[in-house]
């Protein structure tokens, strides 16, 4: 990157907020995938106006701009694959307002999700989305990827809580989208279009979130099963029971093996799957529904079925769930994580297909995740040093995506396409749909400077 | 319209499905507003392929295409203001599938909402959105306008239930957007972009809807208040109580006067406002929460506070609510209906401002609607024959929108912009946001053939 551009950036945001040494830049080359690419510079703007100045410079000199929060993404979305400037939004980290009267929060994109959730709960309110990275990830990244988490079964995902956004467009203008109100249909829904747009349509500089009342009670239940099939069948039964669980998570036996010592109880040796279930509501109602769900699990042969007696016990269960992803590296040093979703009735078929793929490709493929909404995190484990395993991984990924599409599923529920899934996009979107998506991108970003190389496979057609 | 074009249309859909006489065309010139414009032809396609053929013809010969369901829209969205062909989707009226396993329904756009709701409930499931026109409107129109209704307080609006769409683009291609799964973040969220796009981005030919379990119990409560202020304050209290009402509707005294004889009970003479509250859930929990909400109303001075004892009594209350809009014509022969939304904490301020506007402009301006989400239906009543009233109406509309924007509100919660609110769009969207919306429209519809003249004020800039 030319010196005069670096100098201009330093003038705009202050020299101490621009990183240029190779060591410093390398720190912002990667996210939570195994992809990395060196940026030309890393900039930490302190205001929306500074973000806009960076974007206008990028338009004038046609260099890529890659927005980034905490870098916890799982699809390479913030990896600067075509170089350019990484715009780190961690200085925009103020909670501007939590309004009990309006049931909204107004925040900057760099706020850590866990801090936001705690601040909201201190006011007796609740912001539900809870990706496993909640203690590290930023709310801006959550919006850009449309993050989910365990309680989506009852409460939905980030999309369902974003009312309004302030955004610097790829062309440099600052606009407001959406509302501070619970409803709104004025013009095209730009707010939800930015949700999950993976930093390719603009840089979010302020977010208005809908809040809900804090549920007065939550109980957690754990149920062990002898077979995967029994666990999957129980998930279907619970979803159709009208007992409306808040979360309905599952872990298979490989996953359980990796987090067993964190669980607040011992599991029998033959446990093939664990369901982790939460129920929110008024205390007596929660107790009733937890009792009926527990009975439903026992009827399906679950043993043990344990209701958490204290908040600490429940927290222990959820803590174990949240460290599953890194814990799997105990089994093999490398992994590819997918987050496919299938229609609810196809969960048993997917679980069974995963076992076939693992056998067929000679790989260990543990799965866990959000059984309650059909969003299963599939982890293909391997050792980079073992050629056979290394070569089998992309074949297993293709097997998986082929099966998911056959089951009318989707390639990603909450991690996004980014870099890692871009080559597979054509398995889900038709050429006409893809062409429309490219026209849409061009309407926002005619010079293709905003996070280029993401979502779409290959270079854009001329 | 030239004969050879009419003949081509007749070839495509069958001559019996093309209307050309002035009398027949006039039937499709208007919707539920007071606007009307004559189409050149009215066509009833029987398949997505026929819809695509009509749209391709329109591109080749550059005539407007205006999609239409039942014509119950409240903002002129289906009025063919620039002529062209009205495409009525009522022949595409099949419920293709209701899946208990996947908790989805797949339907064609011309299905009447009430029929869909009944078919879903017959399977023990529930499709929540319930605009007052549910017995007449089509699900396709609901998607195009992002319809809401009373239970949005708990369940959200149409947007929250549409998982996937099949759409004929303005350029004639048939694409699929979205998924059959509960989550999905693959590519830009075209599904939610079509929600509320008012027939300007394409013609929807199939809809995949998320369903939920049918709540085992629902109870309805009615509470009369002496003053509007007390009613508005009670709404705020209930929303912050954590008692999560399903619906929280309000009617002012003018509205009450128009539907009084339909109510299953007599109200005291001085009743200034009625709250109508529904609570869903497990039976015991519903009874508990209804009791606590009733107490909250009594504490705020409500009298009477009546819990519906039977489903018939509850139905009577909701029936009265649903006929409010036409019933207001008893007071004056004409009305302008607005559906503004303000942040929850500003409901009392809006209610009080409405009284000022009515006094200031010498008009009767009753209001009713979805107090629980801040979406208030404001009705400006007048007599077309009385010049003073006729001239005061647009001034009152401007007063209203100015006040709503001052309160950080939005011009429309569920009726859309269409024709009637297009002149006011600039009160909510900045020039940069509006320019982006126009570029987005052009990316979908380069020749501007799809429902032209809607949403955007005036002709598009050259």
A-chain CB neighbours of B193 within 8 Å are: 188-189, 192-193
Chain B residue nearest residue A172, CA to CA: B432
- Measure CB to CB from residue B285 to each of A173, A214, A285 and give the nearest one: A285
Does one domain contain both B209 and B109? yes
A-chain CB neighbours of B414 within 8 Å are: 183, 185
Per-residue b/e over B192-217, b at no fewer than 16 CB within 10 Å?
A: bbbbbbbbbbbbbbbbbbbbbbbbee
Query: CB B240 to CB A100 under 8 A?
Result: yes
The CATH number of the domain holding residue B296 is 3.30.70.3450
A426 belongs to a structural domain: no
How many angstroms away from the CA of A388 is the closest CA of chain B?
A: 30
A-chain CB neighbours of B439 within 8 Å are: 443-444
B440 belongs to a structural domain: no
B-chain CB neighbours of A288 within 8 Å are: 282, 284-285
Pairing of strands A85-88, A41-43: parallel
A384 interfaces chain B, CB cutoff of 8 Å: no
- Residue B459: burial class (beta carbons within 10 Å; 0-12, 13-18, 19+): exposed
Q: Select the residue from B105, B185, B416, B443 to test the A interface by mutation, using most A Cβ atoms within 10 A.
A: B185
Residue B358: domain span: 331-406
Q: Minimal CA–CA distance to B55: which of B462, B454, B461, B444?
A: B444
Q: Which of B362, B391, B406 is the last residue of a domain?
A: B406
The CATH number of the domain holding residue B203 is 3.30.465.10
Does one domain contain both B277 and B312? yes
Helix%, strand%, coil% for chain A, nearest 5: 40, 20, 40
Query: CB A432 to CB B173 under 8 A?
Result: yes
List chain A pLDDT tens, one digit each, 462 residues.
899 999 999 999 999 999 999 999 999 999 999 899 999 999 999 999 999 999 999 999 999 999 999 999 999 999 999 999 999 999 999 999 999 999 999 999 999 999 999 999 999 999 999 999 999 999 999 999 999 999 999 999 999 999 999 999 999 999 999 999 999 999 999 999 999 999 999 999 999 999 999 999 999 999 999 999 999 999 989 998 889 999 999 999 999 999 988 888 888 989 999 999 999 999 999 999 999 999 999 999 999 999 988 888 888 889 888 889 889 999 999 999 999 999 999 999 999 999 999 999 999 999 999 999 999 999 999 999 999 999 999 999 999 999 999 999 999 999 999 999 999 999 999 999 999 999 999 999 999 999 999 999 876 444
Does one domain contain both A234 and A276? yes
Query: CB A182 to CB B341 under 8 A?
Result: yes
Which positions 226-245 of A are in contact with B (Cβ < 8 Å)?
A: 236, 239-242, 244
Query: CB B345 to CB A102 under 8 A?
Result: yes
Q: Which pLDDT score, from 0 to 100, does residue A461 have?
A: 43
A-chain CB neighbours of B180 within 8 Å are: 343, 408-409
B17 belongs to a structural domain: yes
The token pair that represents B209 in the structure block: 């809807």
Does one domain contain both A106 and A205? yes
Number of Cβ atoms within 10 Å of the Cβ of B101: 13
Contact between B220 and B317 (Cβ < 8 Å): yes
Q: Which of A65, A88, A111 is the last residue of a domain?
A: A88
Strand partners, A166: A176, A206
- Measure CB to CB from residue B417 to each of A103, A160, A187 and give the nearest one: A187
The alpha carbon of residue B153 and the mean position of all alpha carbons in its chain are separated, in whole angstroms, by 15
- Measure CB to CB from residue A375 to each of B100, B183, B345 and give the nearest one: B183
DSSP character string of B204-252: EEEEEEE-EEPPSEEEEEEEEESSHHHHHHHHHHHHHTT---SEEEEEE
Residue B358 main-chain phi, psi, to 5 deg:
-60, -45
Top pLDDT among B312 and A96 is at A96
Does one domain contain both A200 and A247? no
Top pLDDT among B91 and B317 is at B91
Query: CB A436 to CB B175 under 8 A?
Result: yes
Q: Minimal CA–CA distance to A206: which of A294, A307, A110, A309?
A: A110
Query: CB B181 to CB A342 under 8 A?
Result: yes
A130 belongs to a structural domain: yes
Average pLDDT over residues B309-314: 86
A-chain CB neighbours of B373 within 8 Å are: 181-183
> How far apart are alpha carbons A242 and A19 in whole angstroms?
54
A438 belongs to a structural domain: no
Strand partners, B36: B30
Contact between A202 and A450 (Cβ < 8 Å): yes
Does one domain contain both B153 and B166? yes
Average pLDDT over residues B430-439: 97
Q: Which of B70, B88, B106 is the last residue of a domain?
A: B88
Query: CB A179 to CB B410 under 8 A?
Result: yes
- Measure CB to CB from residue B146 to each of A146, A185, A190 and give the nearest one: A185
B84 belongs to a structural domain: yes
Q: Which pLDDT score, from 0 to 100, does residue A319 have?
A: 86
Q: Select the residue from B105, B179, B182 to test the A interface by mutation, using most A Cβ atoms within 10 A.
A: B182
> How far apart are alpha carbons B37 and B49 in whole angstroms?
27
The H or E element that residue B118 is part of is: helix B113-122
pLDDT higher than threshold 90 for residue B325: no
A215 interfaces chain B, CB cutoff of 8 Å: yes
Q: Select the residue from B184, B187, B435 to test the A interface by mutation, using most A Cβ atoms within 10 A.
A: B187
| Strand order from edge to edge, sheet including A18-19 | A18-19, A41-43, A85-88, A65-68
Q: For residue B63, give every residue at least 6 positions away whose Cβ sits within 8 Å of its Cβ, in sequence order, or none.
A: B1, B5, B40, B83, B84, B85, B449
Q: Select the residue from A96, A160, A182 to test the B interface by mutation, using most B Cβ atoms within 10 A.
A: A182
Average pLDDT over residues B153-165: 98
Does one domain contain both A280 and A197? no
Which positions 441-460 of B are in contact with A (Cβ < 8 Å)?
A: 441-444, 455
Does one domain contain both B256 and B195? no
Contact between A163 and A182 (Cβ < 8 Å): yes
pLDDT, tens digit (0-9, with 9 covering 90-100), for B200-250: 999 999 999 999 999 999 999 999 999 999 999 999 899 988 899 999 999
Chain B residue nearest residue A237, CA to CA: B101
Number of Cβ atoms within 10 Å of the Cβ of B265: 13
pLDDT higher than threshold 70 for residue B279: yes
Average predicted confidence (pLDDT) for chain B: 95
Q: Minimal CA–CA distance to A238: which of B125, B213, B97, B284?
A: B213
B426 interfaces chain A, CB cutoff of 8 Å: no
Q: Select the residue from B97, B141, B186 to test the A interface by mutation, using most A Cβ atoms within 10 A.
A: B186
Q: Is B107 helix (H, G, I), strand (E, B) or coil?
A: strand
DSSP annotation of A117: H
Pairing of strands B41-43, B85-88: parallel
The CATH number of the domain holding residue B356 is 3.30.70.2740
A-chain CB neighbours of B155 within 8 Å are: none
Q: Which pLDDT score, from 0 to 100, does residue B461 have?
A: 43
Q: Is A156 helix (H, G, I), strand (E, B) or coil?
A: coil
Does one domain contain both B123 and B208? yes
Model-level pTM? 0.97
The CATH number of the domain holding residue A39 is 3.30.43.10
Q: Which pLDDT score, from 0 to 100, does residue A47 have?
A: 98
Which positions 73-112 of A are in contact with B (Cβ < 8 Å)?
A: 99-104
- Measure CB to CB from residue B181 to each of A173, A239, A343 and give the nearest one: A343
Contact between A377 and A369 (Cβ < 8 Å): yes
DSSP annotation of A76: S
Q: Select the residue from A126, A152, A164, A181 to test the B interface by mutation, using most B Cβ atoms within 10 A.
A: A181
Does one domain contain both A41 and A107? no
Does one domain contain both A168 and A239? no
Q: Which pLDDT score, from 0 to 100, does residue B459 have?
A: 61
Query: CB A103 to CB B344 under 8 A?
Result: yes
Does one domain contain both B81 and B184? no
A-chain CB neighbours of B417 within 8 Å are: 185-187
B311 interfaces chain A, CB cutoff of 8 Å: no
B435 belongs to a structural domain: no
Which sign, positive or negative, has the C-alpha torsion A277, A281, A286, A289? negative
B448 belongs to a structural domain: no
B427 interfaces chain A, CB cutoff of 8 Å: no
Which sign, positive or negative, has the C-alpha torsion A112, A115, A121, A125? negative
Contact between A9 and A18 (Cβ < 8 Å): yes
Average pLDDT over residues B380-388: 97
Structural domains in chain A (count): 4
Query: CB A413 to CB B189 under 8 A?
Result: no
Q: Which pLDDT score, from 0 to 100, does residue A460 have?
A: 46
What ipTM score was computed for the predicted complex, to two decimals? 0.97
Contact between B267 and B223 (Cβ < 8 Å): no
B-chain CB neighbours of A343 within 8 Å are: 99, 101-102, 104, 180-181
């Amino acid at each position: 990157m030319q010196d005069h551009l670096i100098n201009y950036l330093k003038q705009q945001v202050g020299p101490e907020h621009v990183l240029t040494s190779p060591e410093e830049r390398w720190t912002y080359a990667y996210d939570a995938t195994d992809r990395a690419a060196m940026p030309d510079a890393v900039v930490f703007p302190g205001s929306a106006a500074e973000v806009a100045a960076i974007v206008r410079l990028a338009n004038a000199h046609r260099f890529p701009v890659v927005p980034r929060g905490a870098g916890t993404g799982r699809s390479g979305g913030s990896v600067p694959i075509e170089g350019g400037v990484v715009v780190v939004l961690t200085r925009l980290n103020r909670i501007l307002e939590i309004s009990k009267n309006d049931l909204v929060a107004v925040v900057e994109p760099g706020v850590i999700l866990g801090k936001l959730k705690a601040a909201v709960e201190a006011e007796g309110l609740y912001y539900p989305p809870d990706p496993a990275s909640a203690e590290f990830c930023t709310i801006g990244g959550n919006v850009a990827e449309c993050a989910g988490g365990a309680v989506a079964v009852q409460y939905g995902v980030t999309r369902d809580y974003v009312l309004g956004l302030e955004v610097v467009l790829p062309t440099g203008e600052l606009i407001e989208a959406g509302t501070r109100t619970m409803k709104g249909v004025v013009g095209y829904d730009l707010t939800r279009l930015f949700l999950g747009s993976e930093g390719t349509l603009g840089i979010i500089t302020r977010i208005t979130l809908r809040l809900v009342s804090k549920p007065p009670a939550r109980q957690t239940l754990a149920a062990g099963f002898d077979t995967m099939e029994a666990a999957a069948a129980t998930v279907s039964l619970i979803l159709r029971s009208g007992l409306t669980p808040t979360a309905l998570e599952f872990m298979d036996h490989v996953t359980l093996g990796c987090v067993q010592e964190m669980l607040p109880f011992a599991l029998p040796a033959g446990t093939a799957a664990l369901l982790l279930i939460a129920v929110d509501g008024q205390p007596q109602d929660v107790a009733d529904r937890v009792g009926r769900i527990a009975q439903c699990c026992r009827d399906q042969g679950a043993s043990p079925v344990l209701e958490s007696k204290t908040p600490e016990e429940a927290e222990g269960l959820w803590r174990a769930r949240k460290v599953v992803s890194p814990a799997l590296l105990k089994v093999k040093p490398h992994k590819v994580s997918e987050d496919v979703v299938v229609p609810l009735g196809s969960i048993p078929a997917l679980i069974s297909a995963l076992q076939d793929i693992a056998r067929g490709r000679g790989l260990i493929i543990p799965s866990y995740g959000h059984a309650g909404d059909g969003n299963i995190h599939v982890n293909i484990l391997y050792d980079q040093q073992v050629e056979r395993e290394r070569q089998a991984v992309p074949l297993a990924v293709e097997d998986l995506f082929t099966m998911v599409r056959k089951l009318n599923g989707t390639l990603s529920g909450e991690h996004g396409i980014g870099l890692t899934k871009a080559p597979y996009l054509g398995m889900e979107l038709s050429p006409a749909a893809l062409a429309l998506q490219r026209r849409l991108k061009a309407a926002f970003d005619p010079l293709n400077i905003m996070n280029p190389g993401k979502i779409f496979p290959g270079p854009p057609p001329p």
